[in-house]
């Protein structure tokens, strides 16, 4: 009888342990999600002088760290990863190289085991070997070598068609935005096409035509991604309203000849000096949907309208908080434009620390009787109920000291609006939204004008 009770007790404890492990795994999967840019790459024809490796990316869209456990390498394959840990909201690179030893068609599956997945993520590389070097190094190149193509270019064919009839649209306007500036302004031919030679990189496209709405999209251009089609439909209600907007334009102020400080946007007799600190979210999600390109456009537009009596600083936050531009008077716009264009995204979000640093910079450069303002630009939300619950107290305290704060949501989801609005309203500023290139251009300047206009 005693032996039966002991066996029953042990079985009960065993089932409790199994249940605990099940709950642990289940809850972990709920809070961890690893996504990838693509799982397949075709090299096409492969010759001995061609690069024979491809970079796949893994992004942790969850809330707990994930880890690369192992990579299974079939014959001819060598793989490397840039980092073992994939922190929340960050990206690692899986670099896979195939070294041919004969003329052949190859197709190789490379399973990658991740700690938060029960099954491996399988990446596939394929191609047709035409020539090869028997002495080629079998090892996958290190990440410090050729991490990013520098001078490689390809012709990109752009086609614009009617979404309903699929007929080509002649004379459609194609604006190509590169690092926040309009790089090319093109028009389609009678076939609705235009070809542009572009360096391999990320670009943001704004396409429209008379009688149609506007289409916007971010595109990474390389030799395997050299065609894009835009399908235009009827303009939205918002676009029609913008076209019919009859809001009176603020009269242009005549500036006296001796006034060498004013700009057209900010005449000195109407607008007080500005002390502006940009707080920029450069976490990995800002790479997506052209968010960083739109933000760069908006920042450069504002920069062009600032004066030599205005101060500007740039603070970025992701895995760390960095002061990219110490607060300085806007006397060298070319230098600041280059700093803005060089902004890159990567890492997980740590907004609370960024806000503290931005306020610190703003207070250290305070302008009496001026507009002292922090502007946050992000696509995400601050967790005001948990980890970032002290943010609102910090915002309120700095508002009382004369530093306002506004929050710019860049193609952000609706569920993020509440926390952004709470911060802006508590800090005496406004919640702003950028969804398109047309919105990006004026939005920051309008906000500065609202806050700096003399009473």
Domain regions of the chain by residue span: 34-129, 153-235, 262-452
Q: What is the pLDDT of residue 145?
A: 44
- Residue 308: band (very low, low, confident or very high) from pLDDT cuts 50, 70, 90: very high
Q: How confident is the model at residue 401 (pLDDT cuts 50, 70, 90)?
A: very high
Range among 227-231, 245-249, 343-347 rated most confident: 227-231
pLDDT at 28 over 50: no
> Quick one: average pLDDT of 283-297?
85
Burial degree of 31 (CB within 10 A; 0-12, 13-18, 19+): exposed
Q: How confident is the model at residue 241 (pLDDT cuts 50, 70, 90)?
A: low
**pLDDT band at residue 223 under the 50/70/90 scheme:** confident
The answer, yes or no, to whether residue 150 has pLDDT greater than 60, is no
Q: What CATH architecture does domain 153-235 belong to?
A: Sandwich (2.60)
Structure-block tokens of residue 428 = 């005496």
Do the domains 153-235 and 262-452 sit in the same CATH topology, yes or no?
A: no
Average pLDDT in the chain: 83
Higher pLDDT, 391 or 363: 363
Task: Give the model's confidence band at 86: pLDDT under 50 very low, under 70 low, under 90 confident, else very high.
Answer: confident
Query: Higher pLDDT residue, 120 or 238?
Result: 120
6 has pLDDT over 60? no
Domain 34-129: homologous superfamily in CATH: Immunoglobulins (2.60.40.10)
pLDDT band at 272 (very low <50, low <70, confident <90, very high): very high
Instruction: For 172-192, write each residue's pLDDT tens digit.
Output: 999 999 888 888 999 999 999
Which tokens sit at 165? 């009839």
Percent of the residues in the chain that have a pLDDT greater than 70, as a whole number? 83
- Kindly report the CATH number that applies to the domain delimited by 262-452: 3.40.50.410
User: Once rounded to an integer, what is the mean pLDDT over residues 224-228?
Assistant: 87
CA torsion sign for 242, 248, 254, 255 is negative
Crossing angle of the two packed helices 291-305 and 437-452, in degrees rounded to 10 = 40
pLDDT band of residue 87 (cuts 50, 70, 90) is confident
Mean pLDDT of 328-357: 82
User: Do 195 and 156 touch, CB atoms closer than 8 A?
Assistant: yes
Least reliable range by pLDDT among 6-20, 245-259, 340-354, 391-405: 6-20
- As a whole number, mean pLDDT of residues 215-229 equals 87
Distance of alpha carbon 171 from alpha carbon 188, whole angstroms: 5
pLDDT given at position 147: 45
Lowest mean pLDDT among 134-143, 370-379, 398-407: 134-143
**pLDDT band of 146, cuts 50, 70, 90:** very low
- pLDDT bucket at 255, cuts 50 / 70 / 90: low
Most confident stretch, 260-264, 283-287, 445-449: 445-449
pLDDT of residue 242: 61
For residue range 35-76, list pLDDT tens digits in order: 777 888 999 999 988 889 999 988 887 778 889 998 988 888
CA dihedral for 51, 53, 59, 65, sign (positive or negative)? negative
Per-residue pLDDT for 149 more than 50?
A: no
Rounded to two decimals, what is the model's pTM? 0.63
Which residues are within 8 A (CB) of 242 and not within 5 positions of it... i.e. 6 or more apart?
438
CA dist., res. 165 & res. 315, Å (int): 48
């Amino acid at each position: 009888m005693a032996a039966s009770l002991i066996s029953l007790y042990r079985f009960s404890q065993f089932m409790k342990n199994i249940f605990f492990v099940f709950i642990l795994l289940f809850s972990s999967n709920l809070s961890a999600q690893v996504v990838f840019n693509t799982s397949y790459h075709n090299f096409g024809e492969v010759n001995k002088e061609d690069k024979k490796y491809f970079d796949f990316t893994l992004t942790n869209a969850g809330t707990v760290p994930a880890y690369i456990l192992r990579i299974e390498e079939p014959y001819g394959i060598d793989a490397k990863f840039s980092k073992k840990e994939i922190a929340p909201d960050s990206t690692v690179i899986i670099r896979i190289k195939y070294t041919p030893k004969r003329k052949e068609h190859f197709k190789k599956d490379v399973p990658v085991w991740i700690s938060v997945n029960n099954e491996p993520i399988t990446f596939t590389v394929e191609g047709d070997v035409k020539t090869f070097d028997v002495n080629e190094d079998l090892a996958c190149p290190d990440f410090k070598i050729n991490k990013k193509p520098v001078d490689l270019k390809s012709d990109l064919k752009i086609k614009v068609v009617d979404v309903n009839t699929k007929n080509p649209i002649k004379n459609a306007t194609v604006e190509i935005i590169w690092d926040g500036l309009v790089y090319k302004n093109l028009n389609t031919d009678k076939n609705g096409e235009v070809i542009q030679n572009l360096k391999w990189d990320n670009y943001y496209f704004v396409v429209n035509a008379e009688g149609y709405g506007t289409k916007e999209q971010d595109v990474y251009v390389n030799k395997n991604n050299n065609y894009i089609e835009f399908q235009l439909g009827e303009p939205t209600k918002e676009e029609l309203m913008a076209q019919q907007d009859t809001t009176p334009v603020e009269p242009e102020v005549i500036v006296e000849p001796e006034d060498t400080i004013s700009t057209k946007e900010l005449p000195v007799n109407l607008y007080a000096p500005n002390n502006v600190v940009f707080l920029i979210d450069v976490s990995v999600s800002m790479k997506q949907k052209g968010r960083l390109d739109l933000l760069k456009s908006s920042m450069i537009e504002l920069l062009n309208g600032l004066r030599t009596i205005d101060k500007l600083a740039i603070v970025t936050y992701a895995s760390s908080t960095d002061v990219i531009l110490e607060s300085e008077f806007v006397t060298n716009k070319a230098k600041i434009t280059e700093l803005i264009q060089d902004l890159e995204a990567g890492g997980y979000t740590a907004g609370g620390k960024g806000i503290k640093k931005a306020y610190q910079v703003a207070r250290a450069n305070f302008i009496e009787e001026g507009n002292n303002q922090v502007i946050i630009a992000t696509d995400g939300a601050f967790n005001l109920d948990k980890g970032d619950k002290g943010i609102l107290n910090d915002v309120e305290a700095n508002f009382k000291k004369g530093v306002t704060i506004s929050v710019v949501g860049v193609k952000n989801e609706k569920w993020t609006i509440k926390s952004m609005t709470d911060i802006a309203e508590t800090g005496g500023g406004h919640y702003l939204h950028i969804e398109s290139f047309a919105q990006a251009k004026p939005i920051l300047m309008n906000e500065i004008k609202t806050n700096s206009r003399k009473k």
